[in-house]
Amino acid sequence: MNIKPVVLITGASRGIGRASAKVFAHNGYRVVINYCRDQASALSLEQELNASETIAMAIQADISKETDIVRLFQQVDEHFGQLDVLVNNAGIITPQAKIESFTTERMTPLFATNITGLLLCCREAVLRMGPKQQGSIVNVSSIAARIGGPNEYIDYAASKGAVDSITNGLAIEVSDRNIRVNGIRPGLIYTDIHAASGEATRVDRLKSKVPLGRGGQPEEVAEAIYFMASEKASYISGTTIDVGGGR
C-alpha cells in the first residue's frame, strides 16, 4: 500500500501558506493546515482540499506559544502518524516605523513568532524525522533579510535574517539524519501581509523597482517551496533561494 506523505504548513490559511497547501495537495500530499486566528479561511481550505480527494486537516495553534506548538505536532502524530515535510511559513510583521519608535512591546511578539516559534517547530520536526532518517524542512524568509527593511521595519528584516541563519546551521546539524533544510526568500508578493504593515498597496508602489516589473503571486512562491521540499531537490540543503523577480 502506497502511503501518501504528510506536510505540515504553518500559517496556511491564507497567502503563500494557502497557495502552498494547494500545490502539495496537487502533488499527492496529505496536508496539515495550521492557522492561528482565521478559522473560517482554514476550514474553507480544508473543505476545498478534501473535496479534491486530498486528506487535509486544519489545526489551530499560535506559533508564538510553545505549548501550542507541542500540541500541534502531537495532533499530527495522532491523526497522521508521520511527518515528511515541514514548511515554516507562519510569520507576522510590524507596522512601518523607524528605529526611534521601536519598543519591546513591538518587537517581542515579532521575534516570538518569526524566530523562536520557527525554531521550536524545527525542533519538533527533527524529533520526528530524525529516527526515520528522512525529512525536509523549508523555512520561509524574505528578501527583507538581504535588503534590511530601512525606514519600514528593520526588526522584521532582522527576524528574517535570523531565519536564514537557522536554515544554514540546521542544515548542517541534521545532515547526518538525512534531513534537508532549505529556505525561500519571497520578494514583493501580493498578500495581505502588506496591509498588516500599514500599506495594503505597497507592492504596487514598489513594483517598478523589481527587474521583472511586477509583483509576484503567492502561487509562484508556493511552487518554489514545493520544489525545495521535493525529491527533485534531493541534493540541495542549506540553500535559500530568492523568489523576488530578480530583486
| Active site positions, annotated | 156
Contacts of 105 (CB under 8 A, 6+ apart): none
Give the side-chain half-sphere CA count within 13 A for 210: 21
- Per the CB < 8 A criterion, the answer to whether 179 and 164 are in contact is no
What is the spatial distance between Cα 137 and Cα 234, in angstroms, rounded to a whole number?
12
Contacts of 144 (CB under 8 A, 6+ apart): 153, 156, 157, 160
Helix residue ranges per DSSP H, the chain: 15-26, 39-51, 66-80, 104-111, 118-129, 144-147, 154-173, 193-196, 202-206, 218-229
* Count of helices and strands (H, E) across the chain: 10, 7
- Per the CB < 8 A criterion, the answer to whether 83 and 8 are in contact is yes
Angle between helices 39-51 and 15-26 (to 10 degrees): 20
What is the spatial distance between Cα 168 and Cα 186, in angstroms, rounded to a whole number?
17
- Among 106, 101, 92, 58, residue whose Cα is nearest residue 192: 92
